[in-house]
Amino acid sequence: MLTIATGNKAVAAAVKEVKPAVVAAYPITPQTEIVEQIAEYVTSGELDCRYIPVESEHSAMAACIGASVTGVRTFTATSSHGLMYMHEMVNWAAGARLPIVMANVNRALGPGWNVWAEHTDSLQERDTGWLQVYVSTVQEAYDATIMAFRIAEHQDVLLPVMINLDGFVLSHSMQRLETLHPGDFIPPMKLPHAIDTAHPAGYGTLTGPDEYFKFRWDIERSMRRSVGVIAGTERDFAERFGRSYGPAQEYRYEDADVVVIAMGTLGKEAEVAVDNLRKEGIRAGSLRIRWLRPFPELDLGGRDLVVIDRDYSFGFGGILAHSLKSKFRVDPYNVIAGLGGQEVTFDDIASFVRERKPGEERWFGVNGNV
């Protein structure tokens, strides 16, 4: 069915179709509409699930953990400071190998208090064992949410998945949305280590030095296996529903001399910049990173790279740029732009390409470095 929806409403609509048994939620700007819409679905009878309003984001993830460990499908949503408050339980969910799906509406961290888009919140969770996907359109937010459940619950993965969408820029923007009925695209959830009250057992919680590292390796092994699961899921989705995705989305990339790399909505904005630069005779292309975890394998050789980071690791640099540098031995021009919702247009992105200086870092809008 074709409709018009915000990113938040699209995520909620996808959750309705996947039919989780438990949704635990504590509203926080700018994701509040996601859980409000799900609550409306539950109230109207469109979604048959246990909706648990809790007193904090920490409790929201704890409730999802408690439900997931019994072997049922679960979902929650959060943003920025809510995600920070969840941090202990975010680690716990991955360590317990629970396929929880969570939407995170990317928002800056205070102080100063700011409710607009930035990726630092989710990037601070990149080493917890969660798979992370970053979307750029309302349709992609919907599709990624549906696929996230199948990926997380696959027996070769059994890790939680975080869908990230830019606050307000995407969460509250209305775009065309085609909804679907996934049917058997999402198989029933089977958690091999689910607890069963009909067969009570004792569980030891302390893991000593001779065993702990094996649990860590098991997470990494499953993260590596998820590469194939993601590819297979996206391939099946394309065959059934006609929309194709990948670990990174290329645009006019094959013959490009210079490539803009970004995530989320800035990655989509870069495509307009690329078209304009081509008209000027500059062979530009773009590469939008979708899956940050697992990090994609990329062929970046022989091109100038302009990496836009909507984040920063203080005393170190742009997180995406440095990830590319360390993994692929490249030396990009790194632009720190869009922090706290700072406006970055396709004209700005085109200017980054024209003035690029490989190996240097620039803070967009800072006096003396404009």
User: How far is 347 from 148, CA to CA, in rounded Å?
Assistant: 34
Q: Are residues 254 and 177 in the same domain?
A: no
146 within domain boundaries: yes
User: How far is 47 from 51, CA to CA, in rounded Å?
Assistant: 10
259: CATH: 3.40.50.920
Tokens 């993994």 belong to residue = 327
User: How far is 248 from 176, CA to CA, in rounded Å?
Assistant: 22
Q: Are residues 170 and 301 in the same domain?
A: no
Q: Are residues 32 and 52 in the same domain?
A: yes
What would the pLDDT profile of 53-96 be if each residue is shown by its tens digit?
Answer: 999 999 999 999 999 999 999 999 999 999 999 999 999 999 99
Q: Are residues 237 and 262 in the same domain?
A: no
CB 120 within 8 A of CB 44: no
73 within domain boundaries: yes
Residue 370 has pLDDT above 50, yes or no: no
Q: Which tokens belong to 139? A: 């349709």
Domain that holds residue 312: 248-363
Which pTM was predicted? 0.97
CB 309 within 8 A of CB 337: yes
User: Which DSSP helix (H) or strand (E) runs through 43?
Assistant: helix 32-44
Please classify residue 253 by burial: count the beta carbons closer than 10 Å to its beta carbon, then call 0-12 exposed, 13-18 middle and 19+ buried.
middle
Give the model's confidence band at 369: pLDDT under 50 very low, under 70 low, under 90 confident, else very high: low
pLDDT at 367: 72
Q: Are residues 269 and 225 in the same domain?
A: no
Query: In 3-state terms, what secondary structure has residue 302?
Result: coil
pLDDT at 137: 98
What would the pLDDT profile of 1-54 be if each residue is shown by its tens digit?
Answer: 899 999 999 999 999 999 999 999 999 999 999 999 999 999 999 999 999 999
Q: Are residues 235 and 256 in the same domain?
A: no
CA 281, 283, 288, 289 torsion-angle sign? negative
Q: Which of 241, 264, 292 is the last residue of a domain?
A: 241
Nearest CA among 159, 158, 161 for reference residue 134: 161
174 within domain boundaries: yes
Q: How far is CA 3 from the centre of its chain?
A: 24
291 within domain boundaries: yes
Contacts of 328 (CB under 8 A, 6+ apart): 298, 300
State in Å, rounded, how far the first CA of the chain is from the last one: 45
299 within domain boundaries: yes
Query: In 3-state terms, what secondary structure has residue 90?
Result: helix
Q: Are residues 99 and 219 in the same domain?
A: yes
What would the pLDDT profile of 164-194 be if each residue is shown by its tens digit?
Answer: 999 999 999 999 999 999 999 999 999 999 9
Overall number of domains in the chain: 2
Strands 74-78 and 50-53: unpaired
195 within domain boundaries: no
CB 43 within 8 A of CB 201: no
Q: Are residues 112 and 252 in the same domain?
A: no
CA distances from 71 to 99, 150, 160, 197, 277 (A): 9, 14, 13, 12, 51
Q: Are residues 285 and 301 in the same domain?
A: yes
189 within domain boundaries: no
CA 112, 118, 121, 125 torsion-angle sign? negative
CB 350 within 8 A of CB 258: no
What would the pLDDT profile of 245-291 be if each residue is shown by its tens digit?
Answer: 999 999 999 999 999 999 999 999 999 999 999 999 999 999 999 99
Q: Are residues 235 and 300 in the same domain?
A: no
Q: Are residues 130 and 279 in the same domain?
A: no
Q: Which tokens belong to 348? A: 């700005």
Burial 214-225 (b: 16+ CB within 10 A, else e): eeeeebeebbeb
User: Interior CA angle at 288 toward 286 and 292, to 5°?
Assistant: 145
Q: Are residues 278 and 349 in the same domain?
A: yes
90: CATH: 3.40.50.970
pLDDT at 368: 62
What would the pLDDT profile of 99-153 be if each residue is shown by its tens digit?
Answer: 999 999 999 999 999 999 999 999 999 999 999 999 999 999 999 999 999 999 9
Which whole number is the average pLDDT over 314-319? 97
347 within domain boundaries: yes
Tokens 């990624």 belong to residue = 144
User: How far is 357 from 359, CA to CA, in rounded Å?
Assistant: 6
User: Which DSSP helix (H) or strand (E) runs through 295?
Assistant: none
Nearest CA among 150, 6, 171, 140 for reference residue 77: 171
